């Protein structure tokens, strides 16, 4: 590449400077936080047993579905049973649908956000809900120990 004028040199210097600035100041862009790589660590209890129901994420006003698993992802949404009736999963979901995870994961049907919204059976299913990524390192043995010692509210962030 031949730089012929002062203007060409200035363009190259500005481009390099902006690129370096972005790399240094945008750390979040290329280095995910400790919970970002595999999702949040959500420990919770619900009013009823929804452990085999598909959950969906709602908008802040709770009037539309903003995120939901595809049929192939649904089986990974099944929670792990923990001590004292708590459950653990890596996907945050605001509302419970009538769809069973086992059936939904085997279906070939792709539901729209509107269809899933119409299948919601509980818009407020949680009695307790915590994000426990920082203090547990995704270790279910450690999570159970925290639960048994009644330290969940001290260690984890209440997101209910």
Residues 90 and 113 in one domain: yes
Q: Which residue has the higher pLDDT, 41 or 50?
A: 50
Q: How far is CA 152 from CA 35, 86, 131, 142, 149, in A?
A: 17, 11, 10, 11, 8
**How do beta strands 80-81 and 126-131 pair?**
unpaired
Residues 58 and 116 in one domain: yes
Scan for tokens 């709770």, then name that residue. Answer: 62
Residue 64 lies in a domain: yes
Query: What does pTM read for this prediction?
Result: 0.71
Q: Which residue has the higher pLDDT, 95 or 16?
A: 95
Residue-range definition of the domain harbouring residue 89: 42-158
Residues 78 and 13 in one domain: no
Write out the two tokens for 64.
Answer: 């539309």
- pLDDT value, residue 18: 60
Residues 19 and 76 in one domain: no
Residues 65 and 140 in one domain: yes
Residue 113 lies in a domain: yes
Mean pLDDT is lowest, of 26-30, 47-51, 78-82, 104-108, for: 26-30
The answer to whether residues 131 and 156 touch, using CB atoms and an 8 Å cutoff, is: yes
Mean pLDDT of 106-131: 92
Residues 88 and 63 in one domain: yes
Residues 69 and 128 in one domain: yes
Domain count, the chain: 2
Within its chain, how far is the Cα of 80 from the centroid? 16
- pLDDT value, residue 24: 46
Residue 36 lies in a domain: no
Residue 98 lies in a domain: yes
Mean pLDDT of 4-19: 66
- pLDDT value, residue 137: 72
């Amino acid at each position: 590449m031949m730089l012929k004028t002062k203007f060409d040199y200035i363009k190259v210097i500005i481009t390099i400077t902006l690129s370096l600035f972005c790399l240094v100041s945008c750390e979040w862009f290329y280095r995910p936080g400790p919970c970002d790589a595999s999702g949040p660590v959500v420990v919770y209890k619900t009013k009823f047993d929804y452990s085999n129901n598909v959950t969906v994420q709602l908008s802040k006003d709770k009037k539309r579905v903003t995120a939901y698993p595809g049929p192939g992802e649904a089986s990974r949404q099944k929670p792990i049973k923990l001590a004292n009736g708590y459950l653990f999963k890596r996907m945050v979901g605001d509302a419970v649908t009538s769809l069973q995870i086992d059936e939904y994961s085997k279906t070939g049907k792709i539901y729209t956000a509107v269809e899933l919204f119409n299948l919601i059976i509980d818009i407020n299913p949680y009695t307790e809900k915590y994000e426990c990524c920082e203090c547990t390192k995704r270790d279910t043995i450690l999570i159970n120990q925290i639960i048994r010692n009644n330290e969940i509210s001290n260690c984890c962030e209440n997101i209910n």
